[in-house]
């Protein structure tokens, strides 16, 4: 890292402070990121232990193996969990995105009645602790007889995802000047054309980031699944939970590394969408 | 694109509504379609797959080898093995309260099974018609060891034992090169035998051992534990254990804890220690003193649909024959519940090593019975819920 | 919503006139309706699938349906009983008939479980009485004598007081239990025996550990946010991605990595032992206790502190500090007197956000907290899944929800206009 040029009026003690301060910042960043990175090399461990073996530190090829990855892709329990996660998360995301986008379009219209009250109600699922949502839904779904079903899990995850969509899309729409739309109309576009050709491309990044948030929420959710899913709806986080709780085997390190990779890809694409959205709107950033 | 005749201020909203509304309708119909498919599959699954709940690890493996594989070969019915017996009674009650029973056959402890049967949560099993005769021709009620069929009376009930097992302490020999622990008192001696203790996260066992270690006579333990003072005394002794304890909740955990030296002594099911020694060559030893033996076996939840109930009952019958119980004893050191099975296993050897005679490791072999404590199912049926409540408060405080 | 409908149809006074004002109002109403219709699908979805369950949970925390449902005769027989002395024969007969009926459908265990939650020891009494009465071929001449013969507890007041109390279709008892109180045998409110006192302790523990975690995230997050906020934009963005990476990564992945690091034979302990800092026998216990919960939750919640701090600090121009310094203030003084006060709203938002999230945490304490690092959430889960005391779980849940919502209102006031933002 290149040292930032310090203003000349600072005394040597203040220089010392500056570097100490920077060191502190780096330590905190380490605390945030490094624990995550530790699992990646360990996931290639040839022994079933959670620590670096001597061979690994000496970089002997025999100390490394892909067996835990192979295990993940062959164990029926893990595969079932993977399959379920890819059934539940996309469907829940789709429902959350459609309903959330509609609501955001309404909320940002001039003349929306009870705006604050309705907004608060709609973001409530994000605020109430998950354990409460899980408990309440468990009681309710028991009553409706939809515990241990895909429908129950999907509904619950869609509920959790909607606040994210509402918030990101509302924020995008509020940042959008109505003049674009009016300009398009005044230049002769039909409202339909104006909406789909002008407004939509501007809002799309917001919708997509909301959808990504919703997807990640569902993909990572374990508390609700723990309460309302049956053995057939076991998702990836639930399988990880079981693994962590009872019989830890290093397959979970391979899974964790893969999920980490997915997070990096998603975060990267989100950043791209943010940049694209700013570019379209002519905001430099 | 056609020209839009509608009022400009609402035209867009109609369009949006139409487009997004269409999408919603699509999603709804898709998900309902998925549900329909799911429901159809679930209905079919009742016959081609049984949801079997057990304790995991070496024990569930023994059930897979001895019962499930032959059953699948014979009837083409597969199994979904769920490792949740540790929390079985509670989860089953929750399923019953929510009206959605997803388990077909459950491996359970006797005390819990008796209590659940009283609450109407288990299917009634008629001993002499739902279970096969012994290989010597005796009807089931006479062939099963006295007390191993329970819940109701001499005609029917809810609980069919398959095995009796011991919950006892095991230790890692490498941790104690200068003399191994021999008794429950040694387990409580943290100076002489340093290291953490692995204990099951339930009151049963821990309270008995606390009293035993405190000097209460083996035969008097349940009398003392039935009094409030006795319970206080047991918890007081357990306080000594608390800072040294690592709690486990699944039978597969203690051998793992011992192997990784996370603990030096752990309570465990005798079969798990046996398997760690016999098939994984772990340097473990047994402390037979104070081992608690009890019955364990099958129950069928009440309220299953007819097809699943019949399948579960057929499996129950299949997995409790004289031969099935002998077969299981090849894989794990638990005593079969049928006398006709026990009588035939004098020379039975371990499935993976024919030098190991299973009889030497059976919890109900005459030698081991002398040093063991008979766990009282009736005591735990009556006092279990209160003591569990108090135990969990004690743990969390 | 009703107001909206009236506005849309228009008042009777304007109905006849077609003045410009009325037309405008009509257009306005149409607009409002259009906007509302767009939010309606989600509003319905959230109401039916979220608000209704929440209200259901609150109802469950006071509901008391078991005895009215399974012992209807007893309930009606006791409705006229004054509770001063033992009830009349007809109450004994009612109990016996209810239990006989419950025995037939094998539901007496449900009654026993419900009563036993209120008065330990009742389980045996109900089971025994059900078995004995259920097997009687003919009704005895006097049920009172018969029941008292089965168990002398039927000849004493406590069980009757309990039955009378449980006859009501709602009860405050779960809330009493949630604060370690109970009804005594005579129905008066008293504290539970010391060994059962757990909930007050857990509420306090949840609060103080959350406070500690909040303070830790502030101590770690404030300098970091300051540092990043003073960086050039492109570098700051990169740093923020590093901050956000853990925020985006699955909670279970993060917990996995901490378990790998901190367990007794994990990476940290291996390094400590390998470097000779500690002996093999004295590996420090870093996980499965309070320490584990604190370390992991601090890391997990840190981004929620850094984000609001960063966005507040970002909006403070460098020139403020420079101006203060150029006017002769010492940089420290400039920082404390000029910069820090401007970040108060960011601190408030971050502190509240982390605290709110923290008090509701369940997964982390459950997996890395051992016994001493458990929160109130873990006890809610225990009551739902293991002890099956759903009423108590609902009462605890209602209390936790209320606390969270109040704190969130406060958060809304600090961040302004009740707006919620993420990322």
Q: Name the pLDDT band for B57 (thresholds 50, 70, 90).
A: confident
On whether any CB of chain B is under 8 Å from the CB of A190, the answer is yes
Q: Please report the pLDDT score of residue B98 as a whole number.
A: 66
User: In this complex, do B34 and A91 lie within 8 Å of one another by their Cβ atoms?
Assistant: yes
Residues 6+ apart with CB under 8 A from A82: A236
B192 has pLDDT over 70: yes
Q: Is residue B316 part of a domain?
A: yes
- Considering the domain architecture, whether residues B243 and B318 belong to the same structural domain is answered as no
**Is the minimum CB–CB distance between A191 and chain B shorter than 8 Å?**
yes
Give a yes or no: residue B187 inside a domain.
Answer: yes
Per the model's pLDDT, the better-predicted residue between C131 and C399 turns out to be: C399
Lowest-pLDDT range, B16-25, B338-347, C227-236, C265-274?
B16-25
Residue C11 has pLDDT above 60, yes or no: no
Q: Does B82 touch chain A (CB under 8 A)?
A: yes
Whether B258 has a pLDDT exceeding 80, the answer reads yes
Tokens of B92: 């089953």
Model pLDDT, residue A180 = 80
Q: pLDDT of A50-105, one tens digit each?
A: 777 778 888 888 889 999 999 999 988 899 999 999 999 999 999 999 999 999 99
pLDDT category at B273 given cuts 50, 70, 90 is very high
Rounded distance, CA B220 to CA C167, Å?
Answer: 40
**B215 and B160 belong to one structural domain:** no
pLDDT tens-place string over residues C368-383? 988 888 999 999 999 9
Q: Mean pLDDT in chain C? A: 87
Q: Which residue has the higher pLDDT, C56 or A201?
A: C56
Asked if A165 reaches chain B (Cβ–Cβ under 8 Å), the answer is no
- Overall average pLDDT of the B213-222 stretch: 94
Domain that holds residue A161: 76-280
Answer whether C332 touches B (CB < 8 Å). no
**Number of neighbouring beta carbons within 10 Å of residue C414:** 18
Work out the pLDDT band at B381, boundaries 50, 70, 90: confident
- The pLDDT score that the predictor gives to residue B301 is 95
Which residue has better confidence, C96 or C281?
C96
B276 plus B198 within the same structural domain: yes
- CA-nearest residue to A50 within chain B is B260
Answer whether residue B89 is part of any domain: yes
The minimum CA-CA distance between C305 and chain B, rounded to whole Å, is 29
The confidence band for B334, taking pLDDT boundaries of 50, 70 and 90, is: very high
Q: Is the pLDDT of residue A149 over 90?
A: no
**Number of domains forming the structure of chain B:** 2
**pLDDT (0 to 100) of residue B300:** 96
Among B89-93, B209-213, B338-342, the range of highest mean pLDDT: B209-213
Considering only A28-32, B36-40, B213-217, C316-320, which range has the smallest mean pLDDT? B36-40
Looking at the structure, tell me whether residues B323 and B377 fall in a common domain. no
For chain B, give the percent of residues with pLDDT over 90. Answer: 57
Please give the full DSSP string across A28-94, using - where no structure is assigned.
HHHHHHHHHHHHHHHTTBSSS-SS--HHHHTT-GGGB--HHHHHHHH-HHHHHHHHHHHHHHHHHHH
- Count of A-C CB contacts under 8 Å: 284
Confidence of residue C320 (pLDDT cuts 50, 70, 90): confident
Q: Is residue A50 domain-resident?
A: no
pLDDT tens-place string over residues C177-234: 999 998 887 778 999 888 889 999 999 999 999 999 999 999 999 999 999 998 888 8
**C contact residues 375-404, partner A, Cβ 8 Å cutoff:** 377, 380-381, 384-385, 390, 393-394, 397, 400-401, 404
Q: What is the pLDDT of residue C322?
A: 85
Residue B345 has pLDDT above 80, yes or no: yes
Nearest to B364 by CA among B341, B397, B387, B380: B341
Distance to chain A for B345, nearest Cα, Å: 32
Chain B 60-79, CB below 8 Å of chain A: which residues?
Answer: none
The CATH number assigned to the domain holding A270 equals 1.10.3720.10
User: Among candidates C24, C112, C379, which has minimal Cα distance to B115?
Assistant: C112
pLDDT at B34 over 50: no
C-alpha distances out from residue C359 to A245, C369, C377, C399, C405, Å: 22, 14, 8, 12, 12
Examine the domain organization and report whether B376 and B248 are in the same domain.
yes
Rounded to two decimals, the ipTM of the complex is 0.88
Domain boundaries, chain C: 2-60, 66-171, 202-415
C-alpha A45/C-alpha A50 separation (Å) is 8
Q: How far is CA A244 from CA A75, A257, B264, C300, in A?
A: 16, 15, 21, 17
Residue C373: both structure tokens together? 């690092």
Residue B42 with chain A: CB contacts under 8 Å: 232
pTM of the model: 0.84
The predicted structure's pLDDT at residue C174? 93
Question: In the predicted model, is pLDDT for residue C367 greater than 80?
Answer: yes
pLDDT at position A280 is: 66
Strands B349-350 and B245-248: unpaired
**Residues of chain A found within 8 Å of residue C54, distances taken between Cβ atoms:** 128, 132, 136
Task: Judge whether C161 and C83 are in contact, CB under 8 Å.
Answer: yes
Asked whether residue A212 is domain-assigned, the answer is yes
Task: State whether residue C197 sits within 8 Å of chain B by CB.
Answer: yes
Quick one: pLDDT at residue C99? Answer: 93
The answer to whether A173 touches A218, Cβ cutoff 8 Å, is no
Q: Give the tens place of pLDDT for each residue, C336-355.
A: 888 899 999 899 999 999 99
Neighbours of chain C (3+ CB pairs under 8 A): A, B
Residue B116: domain span: 47-164+296-370
- Residue C416 is predicted with a pLDDT of 65
pLDDT band at A9 (very low <50, low <70, confident <90, very high): low
Pick from B209-218, C90-99, C134-143: least confident: C134-143
The answer on pLDDT for B7 being more than 50 is no
Give the nearest partner residue to C123 out of B24, B121, B385, using CB atoms: B385
A17 lies in a domain? no
| A7 confidence band (pLDDT: 50, 70, 90) | low
For A105-123, write each residue's pLDDT tens digit.
Answer: 999 888 888 888 999 999 9
Residues B124 and B244 in one domain: no
| Residue A283 predicted with pLDDT over 60 | no
CATH code assigned at B344: 3.40.190.10
The per-residue pLDDT of chain A, averaged, comes to 86
Please indicate if any CB of chain B lies within 8 Å of the CB of C120: yes
Q: What percent of chain C has pLDDT over 90?
A: 48
Residue-wise pLDDT for B294-303, tens only, equals 999 999 999 8
Say how many C-beta atoms besides its own lie within 10 A of residue B219's C-beta: 9
* pLDDT tens sequence across A160-195: 999 999 999 998 888 777 788 788 888 888 888 887
Q: How confident is the model at residue A282 (pLDDT cuts 50, 70, 90)?
A: low
C49 and A CB contact within 8 Å: yes
What's the start-to-end Cα distance of chain C, in Å? 32
Q: Where are the alpha helices (DSSP H) in C83-229?
A: 89-104, 108-118, 122-134, 143-150, 157-167, 173-178, 199-229
Return all residues near C176 (Cβ < 8 A) that are at least 6 apart: C182, C183, C189
Question: What's the pLDDT score for residue C135?
Answer: 80
- Flag whether A125 is in a domain: yes
CB contact (8 A) between residue C123 and residue B382: yes
By the CB < 8 Å criterion, does A263 face chain B?
A: no
B chain contacts of residue A248, beta-carbon cutoff 8 Å: 256
The C-alpha torsion from B342 through B347 and B348 to B354, rounded to 10°, is 170
pLDDT digits 0-9 by tens, B150-166: 988 889 999 999 999 99
Closest CA to A30 of C246, C214, C284, C304: C246
pLDDT digit string, tens, across residues C23-49:
989 988 888 888 899 999 999 999 999
Res. B31: pLDDT tops 50: no
Residue B202 forms part of a structural domain = yes
**Which chain A residues are Cβ-neighbours of B22 within 8 angstroms?**
none
The total of structural domains in chain A comes to 1
Give the nearest partner residue to A98 out of B11, B15, B24, using CB atoms: B24
**Model confidence pLDDT, tens digit, residues C50-72:** 999 999 999 999 999 889 999 99
> Is C4–A35 a contact, with Cβ atoms under 8 angstroms apart?
no
For residues C129-143, average pLDDT: 86
Q: pLDDT at position A175, please?
A: 79
Q: Do B334 and B389 belong together in one domain?
A: no
Question: What is the homologous superfamily of the domain C202-415 according to CATH?
Answer: MetI-like (1.10.3720.10)
């Amino acid at each position: 890292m290149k040292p930032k040029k310090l203003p000349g009026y600072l005394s040597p003690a203040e220089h010392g402070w500056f570097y100490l301060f920077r060191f502190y910042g780096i330590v905190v960043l380490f605390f945030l990121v490094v624990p995550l990175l530790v699992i990646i090399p360990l996931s290639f461990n040839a022994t079933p232990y959670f620590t670096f073996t001597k061979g690994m530190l000496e970089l002997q090829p025999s100390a490394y193996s892909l067996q835990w990855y192979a295990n993940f892709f062959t164990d029926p329990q893990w595969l079932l969990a993977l399959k379920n996660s890819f059934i539940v998360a996309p469907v829940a995301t789709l429902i959350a995105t459609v309903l959330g986008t509609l609501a955001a379009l309404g909320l940002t219209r001039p003349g929306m009645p009870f705006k604050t009250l309705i907004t608060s109600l709609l973001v409530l699922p994000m605020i109430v602790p998950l354990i409460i949502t899980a408990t309440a839904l468990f009681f309710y779904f028991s009553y409706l007889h939809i515990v241990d079903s895909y429908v129950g899990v999907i509904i619950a995850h869609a509920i959790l995802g909607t606040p994210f969509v509402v918030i990101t899309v509302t924020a995008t729409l509020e940042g959008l000047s109505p003049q674009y739309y009016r300009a398009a109309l005044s230049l002769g576009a039909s409202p339909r054309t104006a909406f789909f050709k002008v407004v939509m491309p501007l809002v799309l990044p917001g919708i997509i980031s909301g959808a990504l948030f919703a997807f990640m929420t569902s993909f990572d959710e374990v508390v609700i699944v723990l309460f309302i899913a049956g053995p057939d709806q076991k998702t990836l986080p639930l399988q990880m939970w079981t693994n962590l709780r009872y019989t830890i085997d290093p397959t979970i390190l391979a899974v964790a590394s893969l999920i980490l990779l997915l997070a990096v890809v998603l975060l990267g694409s989100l950043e791209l969408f943010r940049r694209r959205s700013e570019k379209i709107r002519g905001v430099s950033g | 694109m056609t020209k839009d005749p509608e009022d400009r201020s609402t035209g867009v909203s109609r369009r949006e509504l139409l487009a997004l509304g269409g999408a919603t309708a699509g999603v709804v119909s898709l998900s309902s379609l998925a549900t329909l498919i799911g429901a159809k599959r679930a209905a079919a699954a009742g016959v081609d797959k049984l949801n079997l709940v057990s304790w995991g690890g070496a024990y569930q493996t023994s059930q897979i080898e001895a019962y499930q594989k032959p059953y699948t070969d014979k009837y083409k019915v597969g199994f979904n093995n769920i490792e949740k017996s540790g929390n079985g009674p509670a989860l089953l009650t929750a399923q019953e309260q929510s009206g959605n029973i997803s388990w077909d056959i459950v491996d359970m402890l006797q005390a819990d099974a008796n209590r659940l049967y009283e609450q109407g949560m288990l299917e009634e099993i008629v001993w002499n018609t739902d279970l096969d005769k012994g290989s010597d021709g005796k009807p089931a009620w006479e062939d099963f060891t006295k007390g191993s069929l329970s819940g109701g009376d001499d005609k029917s009930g809810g609980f069919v034992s398959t095995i009796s097992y011991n919950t006892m302490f095991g230790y890692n020999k490498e941790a104690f090169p200068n003399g191994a622990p021999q008794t429950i008192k040694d387990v409580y001696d943290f100076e002489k035998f340093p290291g953490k203790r692995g204990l099951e996260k339930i009151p049963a066992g821990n309270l008995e051992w606390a009293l035993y270690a405190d000097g209460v006579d083996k035969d008097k333990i349940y009398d003392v534990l039935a009094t409030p003072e006795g319970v206080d005394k047991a918890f007081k002794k357990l306080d000594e254990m608390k800072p040294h304890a690592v709690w486990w909740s699944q039978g597969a955990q203690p051998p793992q804890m011992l192997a990784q030296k996370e603990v030096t002594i752990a309570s465990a099911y005798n079969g798990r220690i046996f398997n760690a020694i016999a098939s994984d060559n772990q340097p473990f030893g047994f402390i037979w003193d104070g081992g608690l033996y009890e019955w364990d076996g099958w129950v069928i939840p009440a309220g299953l649909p007819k097809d699943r109930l019949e399948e579960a009952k057929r499996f129950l019958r299949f997995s409790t024959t004289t031969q099935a119980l002998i077969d299981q004893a090849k894989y794990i050191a638990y005593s079969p519940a049928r006398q006709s099975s026990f009588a035939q296993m004098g020379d039975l050897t371990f499935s993976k090593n024919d030098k190991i005679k299973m009889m030497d490791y059976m919890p109900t072999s005459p030698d081991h019975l002398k040093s063991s404590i008979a766990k009282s199912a009736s005591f735990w049926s009556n006092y279990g819920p209160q003591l569990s409540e108090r135990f969990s408060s004690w743990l969390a405080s | 919503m009703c107001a909206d409908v009236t506005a849309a149809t228009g008042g009777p006074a304007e109905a006849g006139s077609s003045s410009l004002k009325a037309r405008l109002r009509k257009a306005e109403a149409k607009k409002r309706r259009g906007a509302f219709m767009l939010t309606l699908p989600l509003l319905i979805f959230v109401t039916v699938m979220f608000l209704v369950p929440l209200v259901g949970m609150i109802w469950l925390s006071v509901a008391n349906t078991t005895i009215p449902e399974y012992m209807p005769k007893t309930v009606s027989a006791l409705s006229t009983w004054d509770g001063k002395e033992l009830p009349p024969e007809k109450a004994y007969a009612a109990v016996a008939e209810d239990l006989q009926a419950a025995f037939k459908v094998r539901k007496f265990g449900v009654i026993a479980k419900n009563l036993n939650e209120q008065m330990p020891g009742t389980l045996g009494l109900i089971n025994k009485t059900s078995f004995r009465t259920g097997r009687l071929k003919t009704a005895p001449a006097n049920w009172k004598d018969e029941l008292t013969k089965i168990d002398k507890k039927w000849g004493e007041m406590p069980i009757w007081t309990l039955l009378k109390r449980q006859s009501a279709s709602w009860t405050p008892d779960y809330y009493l239990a949630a604060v370690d109180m109970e009804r005594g045998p005579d129905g008066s409110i008293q504290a539970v025996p010391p060994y059962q006192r757990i909930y007050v302790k857990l509420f306090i523990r949840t609060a103080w550990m959350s406070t500690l975690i909040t303070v830790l995230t502030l101590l770690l997050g404030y300098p970091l946010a300051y540092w990043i906020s003073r960086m050039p934009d492109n570098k700051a963005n990169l740093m923020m991605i590093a901050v956000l990476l853990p925020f985006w990564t699955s909670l279970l992945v993060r917990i996995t990595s901490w378990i790998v690091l901190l367990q007794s034979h994990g990476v940290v302990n291996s390094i400590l032992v390998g470097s000779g800092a500690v002996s093999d026998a004295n590996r420090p216990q870093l996980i499965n206790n309070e320490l584990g919960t604190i370390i992991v939750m601090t890391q997990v919640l840190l981004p929620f502190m850094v984000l609001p701090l960063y966005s507040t600090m970002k909006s403070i121009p460098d020139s403020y500090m420079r101006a203060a310094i150029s006017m002769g203030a010492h940089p420290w003084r400039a920082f404390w007197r000029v910069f820090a006060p401007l970040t108060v709203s960011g601190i408030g938002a971050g502190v509240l956000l982390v605290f709110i999230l923290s008090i509701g945490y369940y997964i982390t304490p459950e997996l890395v907290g051992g016994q001493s690092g458990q929160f109130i959430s873990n006890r809610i889960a225990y009551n739902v899944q293991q002890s099956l005391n759903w009423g108590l779980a609902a009462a605890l849940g209602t209390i936790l929800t209320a606390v969270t919502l109040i704190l969130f209102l406060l958060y809304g006031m600090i961040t302004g206009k009740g707006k919620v933002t993420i990322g």
